[in-house]
Chain A
């Protein structure tokens, strides 16, 4: 592995759910890469396949779901070809994930210290329990939990949702992973804490070279944080690029819709735009472009599913009617 090998490179990932009513292509040919110390925002409405993408990377898709294609290269190794033990060694160690629902991620009948210490010792049994406890305490302190010594001995139900999410974040940090997949980790937190966590996350990535995938449906969260962004719709990447470029020159109607629904300085006094309609069911996607039924620019050309195009270096787009002339902007 050379220095410029990205920490994670996902290529054409496909994860399907084989349900009674048909095959739901929850992740349908997703590609992206995250380098050392880089932060990628993975954005999309509910049901667009963000969480399933995260679980696919870790090999944690439960039946009826299954990763059916693609590559997940972590520091050059294809995770999809690893056996259970190989994956287990990476999980929680080199790759950590923070789950979406903080109320459900901690085991209700185990004390917080148990759940933290086991995470350390699962990957390095030579660490003593006391040492692991000390590390756990430091990790709790790092995410801003007051009197961590005392809190270690508590049960999850003695924490608020926000506190639990911070514990989950602390657990993710325990083994100083090379990649963190954070699935909407700040939705349960109040704004101040959210800012603090975002700041900490950013600092961690810059200082330690940890790569971060930050999953969210809220572009505002990502705006001050990420280096690049991938926008997902119905299991596919529809737009991808450096954060500033995508936010300043969104080319996909869906991205523009998402941006329109974020309050910002230039929207003051105007009504926030809402993308009309709802995310279609994966089992009943329209023919052609999946966004067609909700897109103000849809026409005959959209009847054929648009392929990914790369109008300029580092930018990907899946739309036959880009809303900005990317080549023009770039020059």
Chain B
């Protein structure tokens, strides 16, 4: 197990390094930050000064080395726009995005798994067919459009739920969260559901496919032949088998939730990283963009790592083959 974790860790570090290079190069070939920094009337000398202060006069590999060196110390540069460390600006926005993504994930699990299991166990009922049709809608309707519809129906027409911002927040372990106040929950619901819709559909389909496969396995029949209640057969014997792929995919998708919360955050004016990155791209705030991308990479890598470890805990067969190798 330890060998397994160490090997995965090394792989993760390699991935982060490669990605940092791609991000660095990618960001450096789009736009000219100097244009943003200096006023149009500035003379050549002034421009040179700015370029020098930003380290842009050095060859790319020196720039890259500096970037890595800084990054290792937690320094990804200062925002051109806010003048504060980029990392700090993003860190400030992370809780809102995480809360949104987590809420969406919880919705995907809580709504998706029961519906998927039901549709898998009773594939021919009207209920199952409705669920499956709904999941196709969830897959194919564009997130921003659904978001706008939500706002129109639930906020504008019915006036049930608020449509912008986080609402009241309280501090939990030093982090501001919305879900602990009624007002915050009300604010969280629509954007989280909007973000979750796609994942709910995905979880339904995965769970249904898994259920359909597992339910015909001999060990399910054997479990019934042992006289176990249907409840136990489904909740333990079936679920434990289908949870492996569902957890894997969901875990991997968590990074996606964070990355794609950009759309939802913009629609619902949710003050998270997604909204920040859109603003930063518009103002070509290079350090913030780089810091955001690096954090996303890091999140993806960490999630992969955690999912791998979790997966091996859930499935004894993986664990064993890893120990053997």
Q: Which residues of A contact B (CB under 8 A)?
A: 55, 58, 60, 62, 84, 88-93, 96-97, 99, 101, 104-110, 118-119, 122-123, 155, 157-158, 168, 171
Contact B219 A122 (CB under 8 A): no
Please measure, in the bound complex, the distance between the C-alpha atom of A143 and the C-alpha atom of B11, giving whole angstroms: 46
Please measure, in the bound complex, the distance between the C-alpha atom of A299 and the C-alpha atom of B218, giving whole angstroms: 42
> Separation in Å of the B253 CB from the closest CB of chain A?
22
Query: Which residues does chain B contribute within 8 Å of A105, judged by CB atoms?
Result: 218-219, 222
Contact A62 B221 (CB under 8 A): yes
The prevalent SS among residues of B at the interface is helix
Contact A157 B320 (CB under 8 A): yes
Contact B317 A96 (CB under 8 A): no
Instruction: Say whether, besides A118-B232, A157-B320, A60 and B225 are in contact (CB < 8 Å).
Output: yes
Number of chain B residues whose Cβ lies closer than 8 Å to a Cβ of chain A: 25
Contact A122 B228 (CB under 8 A): yes
Instruction: Specify which of B217, B224, B244, B316 is in contact with A91 (CB 8 Å cutoff).
Output: B224
Q: Can you give 26 contacting A-B residue pairs, CB < 8 Å? A: A88-B227, A90-B227, A91-B224, A91-B226, A92-B226, A93-B227, A97-B222, A99-B221, A99-B222, A104-B217, A104-B218, A107-B222, A107-B223, A107-B241, A108-B219, A109-B244, A109-B315, A110-B236, A118-B236, A119-B227, A122-B227, A122-B228, A122-B229, A123-B227, A155-B317, A158-B320
Contact B224 A60 (CB under 8 A): yes
> Separation in Å of the B231 CB from the closest CB of chain A?
11
Contact B316 A92 (CB under 8 A): no
Contact B225 A108 (CB under 8 A): no
The prevalent SS among residues of A at the interface is mixed
B240 interfacial contact with A, CB 8 Å: yes
Please measure, in the bound complex, the distance between the C-alpha atom of A105 and the C-alpha atom of B217, giving whole angstroms: 8
Query: Which residues does chain B contribute within 8 Å of A119, judged by CB atoms?
Result: 226-228
Instruction: Specify which of B219, B221, B230, B314 is in contact with A60 (CB 8 Å cutoff).
Output: B221
B237 interfacial contact with A, CB 8 Å: yes
Query: Which residues does chain A contribute within 8 Å of B229, judged by CB atoms?
Result: 88, 122
Contact A110 B240 (CB under 8 A): yes
Query: Which residues does chain B contribute within 8 Å of A60, judged by CB atoms?
Result: 221, 224-225
Contact A108 B228 (CB under 8 A): no
B7 interfacial contact with A, CB 8 Å: no
Please measure, in the bound complex, the distance between the C-alpha atom of A158 and the C-alpha atom of B319, giving whole angstroms: 12
Contact A97 B228 (CB under 8 A): no
* Shortest Cβ-Cβ A-B pairs, 9 listed: A92-B227, A92-B226, A104-B218, A91-B227, A155-B316, A107-B219, A105-B222, A119-B226, A97-B225
Query: Which residues does chain B contribute within 8 Å of A106, judged by CB atoms?
Result: 219, 222
> Separation in Å of the A155 CB from the closest CB of chain B?
4
> Separation in Å of the B218 CB from the closest CB of chain A?
4
Please measure, in the bound complex, the distance between the C-alpha atom of A110 and the C-alpha atom of B219, giving whole angstroms: 11
Beta-carbon nearest neighbor of A158 in chain B: B320
Beta-carbon nearest neighbor of B316 in chain A: A155
Query: Which residues does chain A contribute within 8 Å of B237, judged by CB atoms?
Result: 107, 110
Please measure, in the bound complex, the distance between the C-alpha atom of A99 and the C-alpha atom of B220, giving whole angstroms: 12
Beta-carbon nearest neighbor of B221 in chain A: A60
A60-B221, A109-B241 known; 9 new pairs, CB 8 Å cut-off, are A84-B230, A88-B229, A92-B228, A107-B237, A109-B240, A110-B236, A119-B226, A157-B317, A168-B222
